[in-house]
Amino acid sequence: MGFCTLAASVLLFAGCASVPPGTTSPATTTTPGATTSKASPAPSVFPDAPLSEIGVASTNLPAVVTLAAPTDLWDRIRRGFAMTDLDNELVRDREQWYATRPDYIQRMTERSSRYLFHIVEEIERRNMPMELALLPFIESAFNPQAVSSARAAGMWQFMPATGQSFDLKQNIFRDDRRDVLASTRAALDYLQQLHGRFGDWHLALAAYNWGQGNVNRAITRNQRAGLPTGYLDLSMPMETRMYVPKLQAVKNILARPEAFNTTLPLIGNHPFFDTVTLERDMDVAVIAQLAGVSEKDFRALNPSLNRPVVMAAGTPNILLPWDNAVVFQQNLQTFSGPLASWTAWVVPTTMTAAQAAARVGMSEAELREVNNIPPRMRVRAGSSLLVPRSQTRNGDVPLHVADNGHLSLQPEVTLRRSSVRARKGDTLSRLASRYGVSAVSVAGWNRLAINARLKPGQRITLMLPQRSAVASSRSAKKSVKVATRKKAVQKAGTRTAKARTPSKRAVTKVAASKKN
């Protein structure tokens, strides 16, 4: 408030207070018809009494909060940290592990630069702790193509069943567990759900890694035993026990990189990619050409696509580097060539790969390669195959095929369950090679990880072609017959030798007769 305004207020207040009770001020209006007398002069505003000294009052105002935008994305992430810190020996151990691997941190953080801004935006929009933006560092080192031995896939490492429950499509044309936008949405939905259930972010993270049912049972066990139920109090596998310490260690390093002798790559606080909507099916090669990017860079932003064509019905949105998205839109308007050279064909009846290839006018080798059809397998009716466009098959792939396309196979020969024993030094790959089957199939038949170690003598189940099994059986029977025949021959030879060799008694008789 200005000095003049303050003085005016004081004068007004003082004037009102100077009117004696029961008297009328000069400004007072009289009753209509009454006689008005001359008003007496108003008393002085400033009395003759001395004024009090001006004092200095102290104020405790809150500090001024800066509104400056974060200088880079790391700064923005640091400002959003909101979880309770974990501080124990496991955290120190993980800090040491990461700090002694600067090349690994460099690769991991550089890879994250494509996706991190979008994740940060989504976390802020949901008002969630920014530590969650660092979770893909722990899950996959920010590699959207990562696949675990337990078949978890993508940056956020969704298991197939969990992915399906969060509407992540998984078919022969795409795997949304690897999709940047879809998997991030599903992961944050899942984490919010887990936090709502357990009321604690550390327990929510444990459930994300171990499964909410396992965490719930561990909590119940501690409650029955009268024990605390915090993250550090529960009995859990070592992988889950180390899960939050890993995240805390990465958080500490990113919060104070200089303390760990670490240099973070600069990531600008702006979008890396833009979303482009497709109205027609398009080959990946055509998209890359029109956008001015390499196919490798395109697939790095669209890792869910595992075929050479993008189906607009199933994947209407693609991601392109920010500036290249504008280039793509401009070039698409003037492009006059064919947009797609591939389409999907639903197999009408069960047939061999050679028969299917002849139907669609391509070589058997190319059909097998494009659709990942292994040897000695027939394609069942209802399967969706990627085939070249032709005059009879020239339309875009419909939604029900793009979203639910599957490949169903059956062996060309009947398989028979067999059990074999692993030898010393055997691996699944070595054992599979010995019997002419796929290591992935052997892992599936025995519910083992592809890199599982085998103990000598361990029984392994194999599904071998009936012909091979019959041949093995015949070979075994033949071996038995040969062995039996050998034994018979040996026995017969022994008898003949005995018959030809004179007995002691006969030799004695002959000797006696010679003497006589």
What is the per-residue pLDDT across 62-83, written as a single tens digit (0 to 9) for each? 555 555 778 899 999 999 999 9
pLDDT score of 388 more than 60:
yes
Mean pLDDT of the chain: 85
How is residue 200 written in tokens?
């604690």
- Please state, in angstroms and rounded to a whole number, the distance separating the CA atoms of residues 348 and 362: 17
CB atoms within 10 A of CB 418: 14
Q: Are 147 and 153 in contact (CB under 8 A)?
A: yes
- Please state, in angstroms and rounded to a whole number, the distance separating the CA atoms of residues 94 and 248: 9
pLDDT score of 4 more than 60:
no
SS (H, E, C) 206-221: HHHHHCHHHHHHHHHH
Q: What's the pLDDT at 136?
A: 98
How is residue 291 written in tokens?
């956008």
What is the per-residue pLDDT across 256-278, written as a single tens digit (0 to 9) for each? 999 999 999 999 999 999 999 99
Q: How many CA atoms lie within 13 A of 431 on its CB side?
A: 31
Q: How many CA atoms lie within 13 A of 107 on its CB side?
A: 7
Q: Where are the beta strands (DSSP E) in 182-250?
A: none
Q: pLDDT grade, residue 495 (50/70/90)? A: low
Q: What's the pLDDT at 53?
A: 65
pLDDT score of 24 more than 50:
no
Least confident range of 20-29, 128-137, 182-191: 20-29
Which residues on adjacent β-strands are paired with residue 275?
Answer: 319
Q: How many CA atoms lie within 13 A of 188 on its CB side?
A: 22
Q: What's the pLDDT at 484?
A: 60
Q: pLDDT grade, residue 17 (50/70/90)? A: very low
Mean pLDDT of 447-458: 87
How is residue 151 written in tokens?
């078949």
Mean pLDDT of 50-62: 60
pLDDT score of 399 more than 60:
yes
Taking Cα atoms as reference points, which of 438, 435, 432, 431 lies closest to residue 455? 431
Q: What's the pLDDT at 415?
A: 73
Q: What's the pLDDT at 23?
A: 44
Q: pLDDT grade, residue 440 (50/70/90)? A: confident
pLDDT score of 132 more than 50:
yes
Least confident range of 244-253, 287-296, 415-424, 467-476: 467-476
Q: pLDDT grade, residue 496 (50/70/90)? A: low
Which residues on adjacent β-strands are paired with residue 465?
Answer: 415
Mean pLDDT of 6-32: 43
Q: What's the pLDDT at 352?
A: 94
Percentage of the chain exceeding pLDDT 70:
77
pLDDT score of 176 more than 50:
yes
Q: What's the pLDDT at 504?
A: 52
Mean pLDDT of 231-245: 97
Q: pLDDT grade, residue 14 (50/70/90)? A: very low
CB atoms within 10 A of CB 162: 18
Q: pLDDT grade, residue 481 (50/70/90)? A: low
509 CB-near residues (< 8 Å, 6+ apart): none
Residues labelled as active-site residues: 139
What is the per-residue pLDDT across 322-356, written as a single tens digit (0 to 9) for each? 999 999 999 999 999 999 999 999 999 999 999 99
pLDDT score of 499 more than 60:
no
Q: What's the pLDDT at 51?
A: 62
Taking Cα atoms as reference points, which of 352, 347, 371, 470 lies closest to residue 414? 470
